[in-house]
Structure 1
């Protein structure tokens, strides 16, 4: 018997599947590069190698999928901000160790800086244009609320602050912006997973097992970030262990698990929304 669905429900499902697919795409591309013998200190370093286009494109797709998911809940607000951070992670590369970086040890190589400026300016412009559009759409369709206003305000402030940082101190921006955006992105995802674990489902159907999975994802991401920081401070990375690469891979895996589980849980929602 064919299960009837609405166009909205199907679109909602496809967006979620696209998000999962984009995550797998990035993982596979980086995995192929590693299997070919590349020595990557992190997943983000794939920006400079054969997996670079997929890395940037995959994160862009993830950002668009996060923005496209419907809802006006706290979870959606956090994911809207996470989408903007995903774009920052995609278009502002991590630093690498190279001879051209002297007198510092790591930098964004000069030959890619024009690309970073171009892509970053384009992304910031579209984000700000999107914020204005979001305000107009919210007013037209009657969905304007304090939560929507706060979310848009936070996104605008983050974007303006990032542009200001890049203009005032470009070396500092290029040296740290990627890592700040990446860590904050995963913290927000952990927060969303934590909310899913501890806030009851609107229909009361969420099982204890599901809540435990969401809790494990939240704790796993946060613990991974803490271990990366501890490892960097204690010199584990300098001992030859690919600490950041392993840590990012684990965090990305938790990210994928969260979306697979939540997509399965909400697959048959008659009124698709993120709000719980």
Structure 2
């Protein structure tokens, strides 16, 4: 028997499946690099190796998918911010320990800085242009409510702040921008999961299971970030244990779990946007 679906429903299904697929894509690419014996201190360090194109491409796809989800809820506003942060994570690489970083121990290697500057400027430009277009469309479509204006304002402020940071202190920006974007990204995702646990769900057992799943994701991400920070501060990685790699892997897995849960929850909704 053929099940009838709406075009909107199919679009939302594909977008959510694409988010899950892109997350798995990163995991597989990084896993293959680790399997052949390549030492990786973190998932982000894959930017410099064979998994680099997959890492950048998957995060770009995740950013586009997050922006493609319609709605005017707090959750959607946060995910719009997360989309911009995902682009920053993709194109502003983490530092690595190489022999050309003296007098510092870690840096963004000189041979990739031109690409980072080019890509970073392109990302900032398209984000600001997108904010302008989003504002115009919201005005024309009559959806320019307070939430939309606030979301656009936050995105513009973050982008201008990043530009100012890069201009005033380029070395500090290159050294810290990736980590700041990554931590903020996962905090935002945890907030979205917490909101999803709090908002109303269909009745019965399913409601309780959904709340527990979303709540577990939110708590899991925050706990992972806290433990990761403790591990870095206490020097737990000095003994050879890949603290950052494990922490990022758990956070990425929880991100994937969130989208699996939400995809299952909203699979049969005729207009399964995030809560309006």
* Shorter-chain TM band: over 0.9
- Cα distance, 1:154–1:204 mapped onto 2, change above 3 Å: farther
| In 1, Cα distance between equivalents of 2:264 and 2:174 | 39
| In 2, Cα distance between equivalents of 1:237 and 1:78 | 32
TM-score normalised by structure 1 residue count: 0.98
- The equivalent of 2:23 in structure 1 is 23
| In 1, Cα distance between equivalents of 2:236 and 2:152 | 40
- The equivalent of 2:233 in structure 1 is 233
Tell me the secondary structure at the aligned position of residue 96 of structure 1: coil
* Displacement after TM superposition at 1:142 (Å): 1.3
CA contact (8 A) 1:96 1:106 kept: yes
- The equivalent of 1:139 in structure 2 is 139
Q: Deviation digits for residues 114-140 of structure 1, max 9, x if unmatched?
A: 000000000100000000000111111
Tell me the secondary structure at the aligned position of residue 37 of structure 1: coil
1:34-49 map, 5 Å: 34-49=34-49
- The equivalent of 1:188 in structure 2 is 188
Q: Deviation digits for residues 86-139 of structure 1, max 9, x if unmatched?
A: 000000000000110000000000000000000000010000000000011111
Tell me the secondary structure at the aligned position of residue 139 of structure 1: helix
Tell me the secondary structure at the aligned position of residue 154 of structure 1: helix
* Displacement after TM superposition at 1:204 (Å): 4.7
CA contact (8 A) 2:8 2:270 kept: no
Tell me the secondary structure at the aligned position of residue 275 of structure 1: coil
1:65-144 map, 5 Å: 65-144=65-144
Q: Does 1:11 align with 2:11?
A: yes
Q: What are the ranges of 5 or more consecutive residues in structure 2 without an aligned counterpart? A: none
* Displacement after TM superposition at 1:29 (Å): 0.2
| In 2, Cα distance between equivalents of 1:275 and 1:78 | 13
* Displacement after TM superposition at 1:241 (Å): 0.5
Q: Deviation digits for residues 15-35 of structure 1, max 9, x if unmatched?
A: 111111111001100000000
| In 1, Cα distance between equivalents of 2:125 and 2:164 | 13
* Displacement after TM superposition at 1:238 (Å): 1.4
| In 2, Cα distance between equivalents of 1:226 and 1:195 | 20
Instruction: Report how many residues are paired.
Output: 275
CA contact (8 A) 1:70 1:272 kept: no
- The equivalent of 2:155 in structure 1 is 155
Q: Deviation digits for residues 48-81 of structure 1, max 9, x if unmatched?
A: 0000000000000000000000110000000000
Q: Does 1:217 align with 2:204?
A: no
- The equivalent of 1:59 in structure 2 is 59
Q: Does 1:173 align with 2:176?
A: no
CA contact (8 A) 1:20 1:256 kept: yes
| In 1, Cα distance between equivalents of 2:25 and 2:36 | 17
CA contact (8 A) 2:78 2:192 kept: yes
* Displacement after TM superposition at 1:254 (Å): 0.3
Tell me the secondary structure at the aligned position of residue 70 of structure 1: coil
CA contact (8 A) 1:107 1:175 kept: yes
Q: Deviation digits for residues 144-186 of structure 1, max 9, x if unmatched?
A: 1010000000000000000110011000000000000000000
Query: Would you identify which runs of 4 or more consecutive aligned residues in structure 1 move more than 3 Å?
Result: 203-206
| In 2, Cα distance between equivalents of 1:223 and 1:116 | 31
- The equivalent of 1:207 in structure 2 is 207
